Amino acid sequence: MANLYDLKKFDLNLLVIFECIYQHLSISKAAETLYITPSAVSQSLQRLRTQFNDPLFIRSGKGITPTVTGIN
C-alpha cells in the first residue's frame, strides 16, 4: 500500500477472504467455507495481490503456500 489514499479505498472484506485462504491453504476450500464461488475467491485474491504488489500465495505440491508478505 502506497499511501493513506490507497488505504481509504481498500475493501476490508478482502481480509476475511485472505484469512480463510490462509487457514485452509486452498482457494476451493475457502470458497466452500465462505459460501462463494472459487472464481469469486480468485478475483478477490487478485485484488489483494494488486493492492499489496505481491502474489501473497504461491502454488506448491499440495495446494498453495503463503509468501513472506502473506505471512506478515
Tell me the residue range of the domain where 24 lies: 4-71
Task: Give the separation between CA 67 and CA 70, rounded to whole angstroms.
Answer: 5
For 11-52, the pLDDT digits (tens) are 899 999 999 999 999 999 999 999 999 999 999 999 999 999
Confidence of residue 5 (pLDDT cuts 50, 70, 90): low
The pTM score is: 0.85
CATH number reported for the structural domain that contains residue 65 in this entry: 1.10.10.10
Residue 62 DSSP class: T
Domain count within the chain:
1
Write down the residue that cell numbers 508478505 correspond to: 69
Write down the residue that cell numbers 485462504 correspond to: 21
What's the maximum distance between 2 C-alpha atoms anywhere in the chain?
Answer: 38
- Three-state DSSP at 21 gives helix
Decide if pLDDT at 1 tops 60: no
